[in-house]
Structure 1
């Protein structure tokens, strides 16, 4: 009779554990955009790319993994400009390991970030002291191009490609920034003052032109008013002459009428402070008599000046005989 011996399940546990560790040590996974460096007994053996890979346990090992993605390193550099202003620049360097040069990138540089930082410091401190502060802001692209050219030349031998360099921040000293802000504010205030002055000048010119036009129109209106008054007086005198009233009587009548019209217009205003002097009933005739007397006196003075001028002309040239003009009563007598 055969005897069946069943193995205990505990005997399979060590076998499973050994198989698991062998599987882990033989197979490994490399992620996308990553390369794994394999060494055999401490010596470079191969480079494995993304996917499921295997190695010989104990004999081979993963020396390291290299990131093939684009990386960014921010470097802060403090330096001095040509006009002795200290300024801090933030340089952003975007770089990537060249896929065909993973060996150089892994074995030639211990710390690539420190290497890139050193080159950035060297280039920035060589370029910025040649520029004034305003030029640093205006020519920041030139600084970035210079940094990229220097880094590409130096880092390509180590398996790194410099994708782009950017000057992302320019930060002068606090006092310098305050001074720049004051200068900017003063410049803007100057421009604002110029615009305000120009606007004020335009308003003054426009106001002066308006006043000039107003006075011109006012003067034209006064002239037209006086012309119409004279025309009305002339028509009034003609009407009075047609009814047998002579010019002197007509003038007296018109003056008296205007005098009383003025008194009536003043009386119609309740809040007026105007006083017409003289305002007696005979004021109109007195005014007319004064006007006639002044006209007569002016005519007499003019005739006297003509006689004196004629006498001076005769005394200066006695040899020349002058024929006196025929006498006319209209030259000596003025009647009203």
Structure 2
């Protein structure tokens, strides 16, 4: 029995030693091993072995991407309070031994690392926002991210990490500032609408004036052309009348007749025209040659008198 008990105890000790010697490291992580508190080596994912009671797993470090959400406030140069909501994505720089040592021993624990990381980002954004006015902040989202990345990347490398992405998901001002900004936008929109309406009205009136001017110009041109045509028609009519009278007088002379018959014929035609178009008006005319000459002289005198009065 004592022999069996000793074998059992020995076997039990072997099992315990084997159990304590086997280390399984999950995929996406590494394990930092120390001996009596001093760094010894790094275990990679998979099955590993260590010396029981001598080697100690100091820390398991994730080499996967990690994210953290930030929610903080900053004050602009013109004393406007701005609230930021951001998301940070970071990871261990690489799986090199020096990098893993930095990650394992730079901070006491992961909580201290996160606190330093968050405060560094908040401080970088606050210092940048403090140099800008509230009206500029919304348009500077990309510049803020670029500024933070530039400053944070260098610091994270010394800690064994690198920045993968930083997003500013939300930028919110105080309610009073948001209302004033909305009023400014609304007034600018109304101003732009009024300017557009004024421009449209100006264009409409300008086009209407141009159309009216073109119409007047066309009408004047047409009237001028019509007047020229009327003048040419009257001139042609007089020319034809003169030719006709000259021809008629010449025929009368060739036939040894009195040329005054032409004047008499015109006189009678005039009387017939008066009778057809007089509309009931009474016109007294002397039908004799002497009367015709007298009437002609009187008409000429009346015309001359009216010309003098008009002047």
Tell me which interval the TM-score lies in, with the shorter structure as reference length. Answer: 0.5 to 0.7
Corresponding residue of 1:52: 47
Q: Summarize the alignment of residues 175-190 of structure 1 with structure 2, pairs less than 5 Å apart.
A: 175-190=176-191
- 1:117 to partner: Cα distance: 0.8
For 2:218, the equivalent position in structure 1 comes to: 217
Deviations 1:204-255 (A, max 9, x none): 2222222222223333434444555555566666549737357984995797
DSSP-derived class of the 1:35 partner: strand
Q: Distance in 2 between matches of 1:106 and 1:301?
A: 124
Q: Identify the residue that residue 96 of structure 1 maps to in structure 2.
A: 91
Report how far residue 293 of structure 1 moved: 7.5
Superposition CA RMSD, Å: 4.3
The higher relative CO (CA closer than 8 Å, separation ≥ 6) is in: 2
In structure 2, the gaps of 5 or more residues are 1-8, 249-261, 286-296
User: Secondary structure in 2 aligned to 1:37?
Assistant: strand
SS of residue in 2 equivalent to 1:84 = coil
TM-score (norm 1): 0.62
- Asked whether the equivalents of residues 80 and 128 of structure 1 are also in contact (C-alpha less than 8 Å), the reply is yes
Do 1:77 and 1:124's aligned partners in 2 also have CA atoms closer than 8 Å? no
TM-fit CA distance, 1:85: 1.4
1:68 aligns to 2:63 (yes or no)? yes
Distance 1:106 1:298, change over 3 A: same
Partner of 2:74: 79
Q: 2:215, 2:309 → 1: CA distance?
A: 45
Question: For 1:183 and 1:175, how far apart are their aligned partners in 2?
Answer: 12
2:281 aligns with: 282
> Structure 1 pair 189/255, CA: closer, same or farther in 2 (3 Å)?
farther
Q: Give 1:150 deviation, angstroms.
A: 3.8
Paired with 2:273 and 2:181, the residues of 1 have a C-alpha distance of 80
Q: 1:282 to 1:224 in 2, by over 3 A?
A: farther
Q: How many angstroms does 1:67 deviate by?
A: 0.9
2:172 is matched with 171
State the partner residue of 1:130.
131
Matches within 5 A, 1:230-249: 239=241, 242=245, 244-245=262-263, 249=267
Query: In the TM superposition, what is the alpha-carbon distance from 1:132 to its structure 2 partner?
Result: 0.7
- Could you tell me which residue of structure 1 aligns to residue 119 of structure 2? 118
Equivalences for residues 134-153 of structure 1 within 5 A: 134-153=135-154
Q: CA deviation at 1:126?
A: 1.9
Q: 2:302 matched to 1:297?
A: yes
| 1:37 is aligned to 2:32 | yes
- CA displacement at 1:128 relative to structure 2: 1.0
- How far does residue 28 in structure 1 lie from its aligned partner after superposition? 2.9
**Which residue number corresponds to residue 203 of structure 1?**
204
> 5+ unaligned residues in a row in structure 1: which ranges?
1-13, 261-278, 287-291, 307-336
- Alpha-carbon deviations, 1:104-155, whole Å to 9, x = none? 3223322211110111222222221111123323444443344334434544
Distance 1:250 1:105, change over 3 A: farther
Q: What secondary structure sits across from 2:64 in the alignment? A: coil
* Matched position secondary structure for 1:130: coil
Q: 1:195 offset after TM fit, Å? A: 2.8
SS of the residue corresponding to residue 130 of structure 2 reads helix
Instruction: Report the alpha carbon displacement of residue 68 of structure 1 after superposing the two structures with TM.
Output: 1.4
Q: Distance in 2 between matches of 1:224 and 1:252?
A: 31
